[in-house]
Structure 1
């Protein structure tokens, strides 16, 4: 019977398995009715099925937490309330209280007697310790170095790693394993390769995150920024007799001088026909242009501008002069009052154009970057073990067996410069990278430690560790700045562009105005010449191009008042000639009729004779 029942139910499929399926059995209908009529109190509570779906009344479960050989209740679960700390009977008896927002379940204790939710994997307490490789450095031990006489390590990198591991929600047993012979700085790229081969389980140290290393390992969030920079010897630059020329670059001086002359010439053109201050002999006019343009530098020009276009151009130019004066004054004040540092090397571009030897820290990726990425010749690369070697090589110079500059990561060189004030970082940082902890590919420790490093940065612990190891500086109190105070044309080209466009627009409008007036003047002259030559029926010939150009230049050079006065005289002459012509025409007509008309000196009164 049971076998038959099992086979029949299996044919129905799990998705269709319901109490109604019992009707298909022999006597199943009666069995089903007996089950649905059950109403009893069992171990889990009351057992009863409710129509029409034949669902169990008040289904509920108790949720327990098994701890070792014992257990504790966390809460209950039911269809009505979900997870709750109240018994289902209480909730079902009070249907109005269905809110679970104030239901706080009991704590859950996970294996290991911890309340932290497991992350899917843990290190066994009795398992193998992680072999963490650390570079056995011989220089810059402030970052990482072995404590003399012990097997322990200390330094900035170690403190950051220890603080980050303490933020993890699980224990990480590890053992620091040195890499290197202690005589020379080891190659960190080789250390990363060994870790990818399974020799180490992770790397803690001053490992820069660069492209070829990220192909072999996963890195955490950078805990310090450290790109490549150039360090070179610097000297104190004192003020001299020509210090007043240093605020502006040569190009800035040249363009400023040209604009002074251009603006003076434009103002002279716009004012020449209207303003007596801009007229006179040629020598005087040249002196006026020079004096006016240079006097605007001090806002001391005495010549007045009367034209509208001239005033617009002058206002824009005076604004440009105000900005230039303010910038020059600020820069010159800095040069004369603050001690300046100078160096013949301005950055990585200066090293590109020379053949001088370049120093780098032994074991650093700087050598490969300079040779493979930037194209420096390998023969120029000089390995240096530590800061003392760097100092000696820089002081010796390229002509005495030393180097012209040292290229290294900024974190090292900032520590190097903290007690060596004869050198300085020149030029900008030309790579952007940082240091991180390395782990094998797909290791969850890289992600978890990245989160821990971000927490250290947010709560200020990362900065406190930095200040503990890397803030000792003997040069921070010196009021010296590297020479970057020259003002270049690129900072002012917008002002010069606006002024230049204003000058061109003013000249264009002025030219249109003059051409229009010249055309009217020419028409008046042609009419006058035609009236004067009316008795001789000769046609008026057009002037040649050179004559017309000379006439135009003479017209432009002539004062506006004289042109207006001459135009008025020509108008009066044309009116007089017109009256004379009318009188002659009248006399001719009278002579044809046998009569002569005489006029007195008063042209308005005439006497008629010979009638």
Structure 2
């Protein structure tokens, strides 16, 4: 019952609104507005229904309106000239002050110029060509999105699935061509290339479309971006399904020109789109939108009774909101001063020259641009002369419908949920950020984007003979005439192709050079890929920065870096002063300094502790100091702090001694591993000559390091290197050979005895294969190279072509000598220094503290009575007197100064009050003394006990 009443209400609503309009205010000013639509198209029909509902809804809500829009709808019949003619007619006959439409971008360009001439705003809700945003069309307002708004979303999808090549398919109109420049630029930012652009005319026949699709099938790229009207797209996809391009392995991306109207497509067309993904403008859901959709569906069936029912699209919502924007602007501006001024014309002037200029146009335009409200299609804001919507829905066509797989926003990129708040970069996201996609052929496997056609041409692999035949050597088969290639680089490439997840047919093509060993010729060799003469070039090609400007390199398949080959030292054990070589000069000096410093610290510590063993002449003290630095004499060292210093020092000596012994042993027994030069800067300082392979870029590197050109010598073969190194720099040869590590390993495999490798001294990227920029094979080949280099295959190939490096003890890289430096023992030096210095500071603090404490406790005898110290029974010994009276302390001090006191003893004080005699009793009577004093300062008697 409730549904029936709602239906009756919707049926009666147009009648009520019509009655309301008939009883409208008679004093309302009329604003004439022209509407240019293609009424034969589905978009035109949708817009006509939405516009009529918008007029009814606006004036039903704003019953106290002061202006009234009067619409003059004209059919352009898909013809640009007719559309312009209709606009001129409206301007001349009705003095329209605004034009809504037209639908096509090609129509909008000329009509916008008419709007400029007559100062009449032109508001289009379907013209999406980015070129219409030009500043030369100030009266054109786009109540829709520019096509350029969706290119970042498309690029994010391409990046998420890792596609490196994309073919664009678009219609040959202003609408179709307008997006291509923006799309190509943004795809390049995500490392994707557009090798081909397929342009299809609107008038193309089925045969022409089929022929173009077969051309696309012959290409290796299987990812296509389609930008065209849904009418032409329907024909293209029906034919694409017929020729087999909607099968497994293909990927199709649709722009919003098709997906915004996808629910209005014929079911047979929708079925041919199965597996495609598309970009669609996102419209937030609301109750008002649901109510309007129900009303619109009923009105559309009434307006188009013979048409197949269509569903409301975003274009219908934008046309509805456009009417509200113009009506609100008219209410704000009013028409009290509206006038039209005729230009001064001659008798033979054309109708274009006689167009009147609206005085109300500029103010009406500003009111439209400043009007902001929440419409059915979302926020309606034309302040930038076009809508600004940054949210797109990504859909997947499945069966006879579509499903949502994710969203894209300018802030967060692609995501499964719209409310994702994590900030991201311009093209963030991956395939995991979207729901699973059912691809063409009902496949759930992501298309690779690159396929080798079975009937296509073979991959042209460029090869040339290297200066090192072990890496690559080419020739012709005398019987078949086919190109043959062999060598380490060739075997690695063939093993790599075997590990690709698909078959890759290829053929070798020889590249001839004047000098195969020249790096300049290798630059030309690589450049052939850029010229599309070769699809890929292989060999001992160094990955260099200047070459990356026109080709892409795979991951390196060899070791990286530039190193030196130098002769090894021989008969080092014949050196008389070899015992000094284990420690560097800085190490010897540092050890001596700490040796002296530790002795001085121990001497000071024992001096502050009143150690009698350190007293004497300066030579004796120096001898004791040296003695302390080496040995821990129990009878000499008495203080605890001194023992701590000596323990740390002995640990240092033990480590240093063991290291010295090991280093000296190595020098005496392993002399063949010692290079004559360990640093390239040593060659610079000594002015030695260095060699390199002729034509190699290493020569420029040596000049950059500072070598004089006269000291740089070029050689052609490994035998030349061997002769030059054998002669030495002083005899017309070289002191070191600077070369790339792979070549050095090959040289040492053949000339192992007497040479070794030092370095690398300079970073280099190693050898790789070069492909054209954006070639999708790059990623697959690089992954396969990792598979080869990470297994036993690479070891076997190196043994086959380079030799077994384990048989040569000098083959390993050496970066320095076995001399011990100060830096090797920096930690021990710091530990020793901290221990000695800390102990010394603690001893000084204790010494000065005791000295100050004793001075503050010493009594003043001038102010005391003469017998105050003898008459008091309860008198106690003075502080700092070592347990006796003041007289006893003074007597003991006198004997110490004369060298008579041999042992200090603690005495017990016995006082006799009647005789005023003080007797000092020793704690040990068998080895002590008794000292008797009479009076306060009388001569004492000393009795020694046996």
Q: Which residue in 2 is equivalent to 1:193?
A: 527
Q: Secondary structure at the match of 1:225?
A: coil
Q: How far apart are the structure 2 equivalents of 1:369 and 1:354? A: 19
Q: Is the counterpart of residue 349 in structure 1 residue 678 in structure 2? A: no
Q: Which has the larger displacement, 209-218 or 395-404?
A: 395-404
Q: How far apart are the structure 2 equivalents of 1:26 and 1:226? A: 75
How many pairs does the alignment contain? 473
Q: Which residue in 2 is equivalent to 1:266?
A: 601
- Post-superposition shift, 1:303? 4.2
The 5 Å alignment of 1:85-484 reads: 119-138=448-467, 140-146=468-474, 151-168=483-500, 169-181=502-514, 184-185=517-518, 187=520, 188-240=522-574, 241-272=576-607, 273-295=609-631, 301-371=633-703, 373-420=704-751, 421-473=753-805, 476=808, 484=817
Q: How far apart are the structure 2 equivalents of 1:21 and 1:565? A: 121
Q: Secondary structure at the match of 1:205?
A: strand
Q: How far apart are the structure 2 equivalents of 1:438 and 1:24? A: 62
Q: How far apart are the structure 2 equivalents of 1:126 and 1:5? A: 42
Query: Cα deviations across residues 541-596 of structure 1 (Å, max 9, x unaligned)?
Result: xxxxxxxxxxxxxxxxxxxxxx9668956365799xxxxxxxxxxxxxxxxxxxxx
Q: How far apart are the structure 2 equivalents of 1:132 and 1:456? A: 19
Label 1:524 to 1:446 Cα distance change in 2 as closer, same or farther (>3 A): same
Q: Secondary structure at the match of 1:503?
A: helix
Q: How far apart are the structure 2 equivalents of 1:253 and 1:303? A: 31
- Post-superposition shift, 1:391? 0.9
Q: How far apart are the structure 1 equivalents of 2:812 and 2:772? A: 46
- Post-superposition shift, 1:136? 1.6
- Post-superposition shift, 1:524? 7.3
Q: Which has the larger displacement, 235-244 or 482-491?
A: 235-244
Q: Is the 8 A contact 2:690 2:737 kept in 1?
A: yes
- Post-superposition shift, 1:353? 1.9
Query: Cα deviations across residues 169-212 of structure 1 (Å, max 9, x unaligned)?
Result: 24242323233246755632232234323443321011111211
Q: How far apart are the structure 2 equivalents of 1:156 and 1:481? A: 22
Q: Is the counterpart of residue 509 in structure 1 residue 842 in structure 2? A: yes
Q: Is the 8 A contact 1:180 1:186 kept in 2?
A: no
Unpaired runs of 5+ residues, structure 1, are 33-75, 80-104, 535-562, 576-599, 605-611
Q: Is the 8 A contact 1:274 1:306 kept in 2?
A: no
Q: Is the 8 A contact 1:393 1:403 kept in 2?
A: yes
Q: How far apart are the structure 2 equivalents of 1:484 and 1:327? A: 14
- Post-superposition shift, 1:359? 1.1
Label 1:109 to 1:398 Cα distance change in 2 as closer, same or farther (>3 A): farther
Q: How far apart are the structure 2 equivalents of 1:5 and 1:197? A: 47
Label 1:267 to 1:207 Cα distance change in 2 as closer, same or farther (>3 A): same
Q: Which residue in 2 is equivalent to 1:491?
A: 824
Q: Which residue in 2 is equivalent to 1:570?
A: 886
Label 1:130 to 1:571 Cα distance change in 2 as closer, same or farther (>3 A): farther
Q: Secondary structure at the match of 1:429?
A: strand
Q: Secondary structure at the match of 1:207?
A: strand
Label 1:331 to 1:566 Cα distance change in 2 as closer, same or farther (>3 A): same
Query: Cα deviations across residues 349-373 of structure 1 (Å, max 9, x unaligned)?
Result: 12222433321112322112222x3
Q: Is the 8 A contact 1:217 1:440 kept in 2?
A: yes
Q: How far apart are the structure 2 equivalents of 1:417 and 1:314? A: 51
Q: Secondary structure at the match of 2:566?
A: strand
Q: How far apart are the structure 1 equivalents of 2:399 and 2:549? A: 50
Label 1:131 to 1:351 Cα distance change in 2 as closer, same or farther (>3 A): farther
- Post-superposition shift, 1:450? 0.8
Q: Is the 8 A contact 2:857 2:880 kept in 1?
A: no
- Post-superposition shift, 1:305? 2.9
Q: How far apart are the structure 2 equivalents of 1:270 and 1:233? A: 53
Q: Secondary structure at the match of 1:353?
A: helix
Q: How far apart are the structure 2 equivalents of 1:513 and 1:374? A: 58
- Post-superposition shift, 1:282? 3.4
Label 1:481 to 1:415 Cα distance change in 2 as closer, same or farther (>3 A): closer
Q: Secondary structure at the match of 2:494?
A: helix
Q: How far apart are the structure 2 equivalents of 1:601 and 1:488? A: 78
Query: Cα deviations across residues 397-422 of structure 1 (Å, max 9, x unaligned)?
Result: 22333222211101101110123212
Q: Is the 8 A contact 1:390 1:406 kept in 2?
A: yes
Q: Which has the larger displacement, 434-443 or 189-198?
A: 189-198
Q: Which residue in 1 is equivalent to 2:387?
A: none
Q: Secondary structure at the match of 1:235?
A: coil
- Post-superposition shift, 1:108? 7.1
- Post-superposition shift, 1:286? 1.8
Q: Secondary structure at the match of 2:460?
A: strand
Query: Cα deviations across residues 504-551 of structure 1 (Å, max 9, x unaligned)?
Result: 2222222222223334555678945x57999xxxxxxxxxxxxxxxxx
Q: Which residue in 2 is equivalent to 1:547?
A: none
Query: Cα deviations across residues 282-338 of structure 1 (Å, max 9, x unaligned)?
Result: 332221111221336xxxx45453222212222222222222222223222323333
Query: Cα deviations across residues 450-483 of structure 1 (Å, max 9, x unaligned)?
Result: 1211222344433332333223358525899977
Q: How far apart are the structure 1 equivalents of 2:728 and 2:692? A: 14
Q: Is the 8 A contact 1:228 1:432 kept in 2?
A: yes
Query: Cα deviations across residues 94-117 of structure 1 (Å, max 9, x unaligned)?
Result: xxxxxxxxxxx9x9799xxxx997
Label 1:109 to 1:408 Cα distance change in 2 as closer, same or farther (>3 A): farther
Q: How far apart are the structure 1 equivalents of 2:528 and 2:400? A: 56
Q: Secondary structure at the match of 2:604?
A: helix
Q: Which residue in 2 is equivalent to 1:552?
A: none
Q: How far apart are the structure 1 equivalents of 2:824 and 2:47? A: 86
Q: Secondary structure at the match of 1:175?
A: strand
Q: How far apart are the structure 2 equivalents of 1:17 and 1:170? A: 55
Q: Is the 8 A contact 1:357 1:380 kept in 2?
A: yes
Q: Which has the larger displacement, 462-471 or 152-161?
A: 462-471
CA-based RMSD of the aligned residues comes to 4.4
Q: How far apart are the structure 2 equivalents of 1:466 and 1:226? A: 15
Q: How far apart are the structure 1 equivalents of 2:739 and 2:623? A: 58
Q: Is the 8 A contact 1:339 1:481 kept in 2?
A: no
Q: Secondary structure at the match of 1:313?
A: helix
Q: How far apart are the structure 2 equivalents of 1:422 and 1:364? A: 25
Q: Which has the larger displacement, 385-394 or 184-193?
A: 184-193
Q: Which residue in 1 is equivalent to 2:385?
A: none
Q: How far apart are the structure 2 equivalents of 1:109 and 1:27? A: 36
TM-score (norm 2): 0.44
Q: How far apart are the structure 1 equivalents of 2:486 and 2:295? A: 69
